[in-house]
Structure 1
Amino acid sequence: MSEKVEKKQNALWENIKVIIQALLLAMVIRTVFFQPFTIPSGSMMPTLLVGDYIFVNKFAYGYSKYSLPFSPDLFSGRIFSSEPKRGDIVVFRFPPNPQIDYIKRLVGLPGDHIQVKEGILYINGQAVPRVPDGTFTSDYRLDPGEDVPVYRETLDDGVTYDTLDQSPNSRADNTREFIVPEGHYFMMGDNRDNSLDSRFDVGFVPAENLVGRASIIFFSLGNDTSFREFWKWPANMRWDRLFKVVE
């Protein structure tokens, strides 16, 4: 074998090793630390918009089988776990079908009594204070939401955020009382009249189903612009949302 051929083979092998190492590093980061997530619907408007791309902090609550690629059944429950806080925006696996990721705001902790009456959220019998905070118009084609009333809620731990109240008499505005079981959580979307959440078929979310806490918006495209349509990025980029902390 000539010296030239041997050098080419060595260079090729070095390149392959670099690629393998980069892939392994990316897998470790995605599995252990941060996972990218795309907002697929308007259920978290106005906090999160369709076309937002966020990083999910996976070590915020520890790890379950759903923290790993393909969700292998290696262990049950969570390891290195820490409790989520009321008001966190959480990515979790849909309990009836854990193949699907959902994102909602955690409003109910284990043992809490949760109810919505005339559009007002009640936690343990106490109404969550809310005040008008302007209006919201969406650039999302399937949920235009023109001049929808916005209300700012403030939880007892000081977490505050905006919610939408598109209809004063929707089926989401009056619910039965839910008592959150041990080891489970109650989730609601900020777009209160357009969110399938724990009030409906999502139900109570087991702790094992938590994937992580939404942390930061790293990219955002409006007007139903696909990520692949890069030539449309300059006109449709939501520049004011880039690197915005999710609250």
Structure 2
Amino acid sequence: MNLQVILGNFALILFVLMVITGVIWCLDVFYLAKQRRAAANRALAEYDARAAKATADGIKLDNQGKRAQIEADLLRQPTWIEYSGSFFPVIALVFVLRSFLYEPFKIPSSSMVPTLLVGDLILVNKFTYGIRLPVINKKVIQINDPQRGDVMVFKYPMDMSQDYIKRVVGVPGDKITYENKRLTVNGVEVKYTALDDYLNDEKLVYNKQYEENLTGVSHRILNDETQSTYRREGVYPFPHSENCSYRSDGFTCVVPAGNYFMMGDNRDNSLDSRYWGFVPDQNIVGKAFFVWMNLGNLRRIGGIH
């Protein structure tokens, strides 16, 4: 695992920090705190003996204030232990939440417009598709499988340090045909309803907008009439590429077992399974389900469809 992958894997960084702070916390609770207590008891016993002798000699001492100060000084945690102990429960809580429940992501590109906009801060459900061990992302408990129409976050097959987000358009065994900017799933043409044109804020041009009914899941997509159905020269070699046949006006792919075919809703501005192939089950991160903030547009807050 190279440095770029390590730095790009926040879960790994959290795990390492949790282990380090956890070891220090346990060391303090089960050993160092007892050592400090024993040292304090010895010092207090010596102080009490001196105070008793002084009293016997007729010398009056302010025992309580001095004695309490000695005890507090000897029981005080070193700074490095105090900070580690404070951070450990916070880091552990964040690690558990991000690893097994919900993980936040920020949308960096326009490939999922109009469903998701650049700058959307989203939440991803980490357990919808099964419980996975953090860092290594190995599934240990099966719950649900991704369904057509789901918006899913996954590790980019060509660079596992990157997280991608696209829509599931093909599940294992599906025959996906994309021709003249229209999808066909298992021989059934997907239904499209024309909507008002969509203003592309990046290029200040209007794109064709449609409601796509992907086997019962309705969502909006964009088409750029100036672009071709796909760019044949942009297709990379990928595993199971023999399952796909490409033509000038489109292509057909049969999704292999344990894999998924992903496409962006901004169809002509999305680097997706058309170009780099299928997403293996082990690459799945979770299902995107909620936009919790967009600093530039507070009206974006809400569920993801």
When normalised by structure 1's length, the TM-score is: 0.81
Distance in 2 (alpha carbons) for counterparts of 1:60 and 1:85: 11
Matched, 1:93 2:165: no
Compute the displacement of 1:59 (Å).
0.4
Q: Mark the CA change 1:95 to 1:12 in structure 2 (over 3 Å): closer, same or farther.
A: closer
> Structure 1, unaligned stretches of length 5 or more?
222-236
Q: Superposition pairs for residues 175-190 of structure 1, below 5 Å? A: 175-190=250-265
| Higher mean C-alpha displacement, 210-219 vs 1-10 | 1-10
Question: Does the aligned pair in 1 maintain the 2:132–2:141 contact within 8 Å?
Answer: no
| Residues 203-243 of structure 1 deviation map (CA, whole Å, 9 limit, x = unaligned) | 0111111110001111113xxxxxxxxxxxxxxx311112x
Distance in 2 (alpha carbons) for counterparts of 1:193 and 1:161: 16
Matched, 1:34 2:102: yes
Q: Mark the CA change 1:220 to 1:111 in structure 2 (over 3 Å): closer, same or farther.
A: same
Matched, 1:241 2:289: no
Q: Mark the CA change 1:101 to 1:145 in structure 2 (over 3 Å): closer, same or farther.
A: farther
Q: Mark the CA change 1:88 to 1:17 in structure 2 (over 3 Å): closer, same or farther.
A: same
Alignment-derived partner of residue 216 in structure 1: 290
Alignment-derived partner of residue 112 in structure 2: 44
| Residues 140-165 of structure 1 deviation map (CA, whole Å, 9 limit, x = unaligned) | xxx33522111001122x21000001
Compute the displacement of 1:50 (Å).
0.6
| Residues 77-114 of structure 1 deviation map (CA, whole Å, 9 limit, x = unaligned) | x2212211110000011112222111000010111110
Question: Does the aligned pair in 2 maintain the 1:34–1:56 contact within 8 Å?
Answer: yes
Question: Does the aligned pair in 1 maintain the 2:170–2:255 contact within 8 Å?
Answer: yes
Distance in 2 (alpha carbons) for counterparts of 1:51 and 1:183: 31
Amino acid at match of 2:176: I
When normalised by structure 2's length, the TM-score is: 0.66
Distance in 2 (alpha carbons) for counterparts of 1:167 and 1:12: 61
Amino acid at match of 2:208: P
Q: Which protein, 1 or 2, shows the higher relative CO under an 8 Å CA cutoff with sep ≥ 6?
A: 1
CA-based RMSD: 2.3
> Structure 2, unaligned stretches of length 5 or more?
1-68, 232-248
Matched length: 219
* Percent pairwise identity: 39
Matched, 1:126 2:188: yes
Distance in 2 (alpha carbons) for counterparts of 1:39 and 1:178: 28
Compute the displacement of 1:12 (Å).
9.2
Question: Does the aligned pair in 1 maintain the 2:150–2:287 contact within 8 Å?
Answer: yes
Aligned counterpart for 1:167 among listed residues 208, 221, 225 = 225
Q: Mark the CA change 1:177 to 1:11 in structure 2 (over 3 Å): closer, same or farther.
A: closer
Question: Does the aligned pair in 2 maintain the 1:136–1:145 contact within 8 Å?
Answer: no
Amino acid at match of 1:95: P
SS at match of 2:205: coil
SS at match of 1:17: helix
Larger Rg: 2
Compute the displacement of 1:5 (Å).
2.7
Q: Mark the CA change 1:103 to 1:15 in structure 2 (over 3 Å): closer, same or farther.
A: same
Q: Superposition pairs for residues 57-206 of structure 1, below 5 Å? A: 57-64=125-132, 68-69=134-135, 71=136, 78-81=139-142, 82-139=144-201, 143-144=202-203, 146-156=205-215, 158-167=216-225, 169-172=227-230, 174-201=249-276, 203-206=277-280
Question: Does the aligned pair in 2 maintain the 1:175–1:199 contact within 8 Å?
Answer: no
Amino acid at match of 2:280: P
